[in-house]
A and B are shown apart, each in its own frame.
Chain A
């Protein structure tokens, strides 16, 4: 495709996975072959961990236990608030407690297939292997998983699989797993092994002689800019879904840590892969600040429909059966309302685009329990879904037992992230990236209950084992603020803060964020086309231009200034948005969460182009003005056969 928007660089490859042994032995082989660091040397080495979610919290705790000096950073007041806390559904593990044919290999297979064949086989297999240890670890920490009357752990099934392998703690699995990691982290803080930096935001990476050696951070309470040095830096700062402004992410979730690292040389992989969750509560008005997800289990009994006629504004209950279009049941008779997330989301968009959407602004479809209530009785529906119905009522003020709920898809997770090798090391030696912040395990689409699994696998088990290979060469020469690389990074951060404060225009950071988010949602959202992406790529530089000339940030640098924090994050989102659109434009195929209008089957389903796009797109930042450089990592499938997904 002729594109002036990027240039193509050398291919990139993972060289760390031992390819000379079968896939089932690669992780143990890698652990055996990797060099170790003896306990006396660990005490001499410092590791910075940014973020305290499932990945960062578990990594900081585990590295602290191992004897390294750990410095942990988070932007909230307490590490317990990281957004992993909001995950509802559960965590997958190949325990096969149900004796239903589950195995490590099946979890591996399901995940690669669910990711629409755009994930790296080696990483996914390791994830499946490690999954069983996570459950053991969490149970020992006191995570109160759901249990059966016999006292053993309960499991349920989740989308995209035929076995019951999901462990859960009511609808708050993320919260309970995070508290397990948080408590382990607090134990290490108390033991003096982890130094805590609350309400501190990483604003740049310090790279010395090609190695990541520290970060520049801002204390959000006092505004002080400080530097922190280490032998290795671990980023666990989560995903970038807030580039869309409205998402199910926390308000503070941002791309700043990984984006600034990207600008220091870390490749950014597959930025266009975003997951849109089909069952969220629709937007109500311009003031909306946040979208709330409701468990997709609702689709087990609820029926999705819209009026057959466009512009039908009658009350839902007034619309007779034969004037309703149960479109998922109509289009996908085999799977009906239970099609995968990406398909359910896109069809909702299609019917709304046709003008048949319901609710304010026509951006919603009905999720109707009338039939379920008739069939099962209201008490049974209440027992199964009561808490979700209450949540819906709390937010919307409507009664879902009487009128159908309205739902609409929302941005939920980003599969893309910084490129890492099998060791979870980025293209900057000494900088490791774990959890949602990296790109590694989910390909183009993440299966339900796999995000918690990946975060904890990376933090508890993978990173602490692989980082030793790098640290075996350490400790590295001491660095301080006088080093030119450090001085340059500090100056850059100070300069940006000053610039943001001195523009003194008329628009708040939030207004730019909203504008950018709407643009991304409309043009680089559930469905992308060359036309829409080109339009976005025309608009984004204009937004950036206006941002840097018409922004208004009140207050001062040296104080608790939430507007300033937000401004810095929006600046990075604007730059990231551009790369996302370039990536989406260059990937002229549909796969998983990335649906290109030009690439679909005659029935309108996502059509992959394995011949041309079975690769990871790893983007290299180039200084302003120059287009980004694409490095391709070819994906080869030895164990899972490439196939077109079908849910009809």
Chain B
């Protein structure tokens, strides 16, 4: 028989169960990102204590570990912060990786020629930038928190480790690159989170973008002040 009765493929299609909504993933990313940004603000302000001298800086470092004492045992607050941060980082990365994979699945065959017409450099470096920042954070913890990779070793005070670490221009260069990436990450991230949480509109768009740029620049600058000061001998 030459004639067939065609059933439309769309009607045969049995939809797969919807996986976690892509928008939900974006919300996870936005909320975890906001937590991390709040921490970064506190972190940067803490860093600037390096300008008040060794005593003050080490005291600040000690204070973080003793908040809430004697009501709670030593380091309780610090560990709560650490757990929250870790959860935020894990959530942030989970969302990023699953969205990345979804994007790969959504276009397995790329274009021979593709040009970006609107995409900012910041938004294009979100994924690779994020990966580099991740490795930077690990190095950073090993360097200054634990001291494992610090020239002054694990037994030193935070201030010593700070000065010893940043006296090496290569270490400082790595910090600078990572912080610039972080700045761009925040520049797109802040705008993106506003969109994802449904808080942007045409009226606010300019303001949100301007805020993202100013905020990201200030934060990056604040973080960069300390290593540059060490490098140029303003802090020793």
Contacts and interface: CB of A to CB of B under 8 A. Distances in A.
> Do A and B come into direct contact in the complex, CB within 8 Å?
yes
Nearest to A192: B11
B2 interface: yes
B6 A224 contact: yes
Contact of B11 (A195, A219, A490): A195
Contacts, number: 28
Contacts of B6: 197, 200, 219, 222, 224, 226
A225 B5 contact: no
Interface in A208-233: 219, 222, 224-228
A109 B21 CA distance: 56
Nearest to A486: B3
Interface string B1-25: 1111110101100000000000000
B4 A226 contact: yes
Q: Which of B1, B4, B10, B11 has the most CB of A within 10 A?
A: B4
Interface residues of A, number: 15
A227 B3 contact: yes
Interface residues of B, number: 9
Contact of A226 (B3, B10, B11): B3
A490 B11 CA distance: 25
Contacts of A198: 8, 10
A563 interface: no
Q: Is the interface of B mostly helix, strand, loop or mixed?
A: loop
A196 B3 contact: no
Contacts of A490: 2-3
A225 B2 contact: yes
B182 to A, nearest CB: 43
A481 interface: yes
Contacts of B5: 226-228
Contacts of A196: 8, 10-11
Contacts of A226: 3-6
Contacts of A228: 5
Contact of B2 (A197, A222, A494): A494
A225 B3 contact: yes
A389 B157 CA distance: 73
Given A490-B3, A494-B2, 13 more contacts: A195-B8, A196-B11, A198-B10, A222-B6, A224-B4, A224-B6, A225-B2, A225-B3, A226-B4, A227-B5, A228-B5, A481-B3, A490-B2
27 contacts: A195-B8, A195-B11, A196-B8, A196-B10, A196-B11, A197-B6, A197-B8, A198-B8, A198-B10, A200-B6, A219-B6, A222-B6, A224-B4, A224-B6, A225-B2, A225-B3, A226-B3, A226-B4, A226-B5, A226-B6, A227-B5, A228-B5, A481-B1, A481-B3, A490-B2, A490-B3, A494-B2
Which 4 A-B pairs have CB atoms at the shortest separation, nearest pair first?
A226-B6, A226-B5, A196-B8, A224-B4
